[in-house]
Amino acid sequence: MWPADADGITDDVDIWTGALRPFQTPLMLTALLDQTLAFAMIITSVAHLMTSRVRAKPVLFRLLLVGAVLSTVTLAATLTPAGQSISSWILD
């Protein structure tokens, strides 16, 4: 069961207590900027993949290619209704 807006169970619960407090700001910024960060990582990976220096090193090329694919999957996931629901729940 996913949390929903105006959910009586999770509405007044503070999940940022104790050891989780230091992670509140980074997690909220990531949830707020998730699409922008994923798009920036895709552009950066593709730009590096086109350079001859990266193409000369097969291991680096494969790692950047995997990073670009994972960034694309992340971007696609944030655009789905479930991804947007999770982001809004984290920001709430």
- Residue 1 CA: distances (Å) to CA of 6, 10, 72: 14, 12, 27
pLDDT of residue 74: 86
pLDDT of residue 21: 82
pLDDT of residue 60: 93
3-state DSSP call for residue 90? helix
Q: Half-sphere exposure (CA, 13 Å, Cβ side) for 61?
A: 9
pLDDT of residue 59: 95
Which segments in the chain show pLDDT lower than 70?
Answer: 1-13, 15-16, 92
